[in-house]
Structure 1
């Protein structure tokens, strides 16, 4: 199937150095707020790229749950394939594809587990169904059918019908601590605006324009 005819001209906006915040997290917050205001579906969805000890890459979509000047946090099963990759090779990349705004943000850095206290704080804020789901799914493992999940869910409902649902010891968060953050804005004729923030040893950020 030849789809080479599919083409869009990006004309919504430009990105100038003078308009960039010196702090990439502040710049990200601004763009994130604009993505929310534009009512993009799940603006916190991000592609997470990992590689195992042999360098074999994997890619999946996860949800950003909070961010600050320390990094970008998501949650998962610590027995999942992504967690196994991170254990052997903590270098990861994440990307926010805000295509309706002709924008994307790419973050490269190191993933590290957050504290149990941080994971517990988020876990207790989840709906009950999501809390039970964390107990039910041994993520990435092979199962014989959906019935297995449904039976396990009923088991967990019975087990935790009295009192609060505890945090599983195999579930929690990772923080992606960035070394580089790129802001990409589509422009006409494929001459896109790209600015790369690179963390310096002083923890300040160097900002450079990249060729499209």
Structure 2
């Protein structure tokens, strides 16, 4: 009976992943079991390797395998531009578009009075210090077009006033839109047509 319970436990864990419900998780687990040699075992090994090595970049908050992620470690990316995103999935969406050549700063969320999330709960104080230490000339706010995203953008703009130019993504990002769900062309258009705040 424990073998069946192991499978049910795996289904329950898979169902916790974004975009998967219990039925999708059950289908995915069945597929993995049927392709155990070609898919499940390599997947399990890869997941263990990532679990052992993945960590948060000490500078920007991205996920990498060292103290600094590949982007922060690349001196060619130190071009004076810093793109501010809400979370790592937004950073990866921007990188997938391949148009931004500077560095990033992951906030870890947005300001929210309802959820008692203030600047100290996010990485905003670290952002201000990075702008000073790294001689950043432009901060690009790539935050979602939500109420909390725009509140956060205005707060950061006020905090950085006089320290550097602050711009935000322009056309192409719909109101209420999340970067992770946008296609590469939309992200490229929004970054290219960014505007000063």
TM range (shorter): under 0.3
Question: Whose strand proportion is higher, 1 or 2?
Answer: 1
Q: Which has the higher contact order (CA 8 A, sep 6+)?
A: 1
Question: Whose helix proportion is higher, 1 or 2?
Answer: 2
Normalised TM-score (structure 2): 0.25
Normalised TM-score (structure 1): 0.24
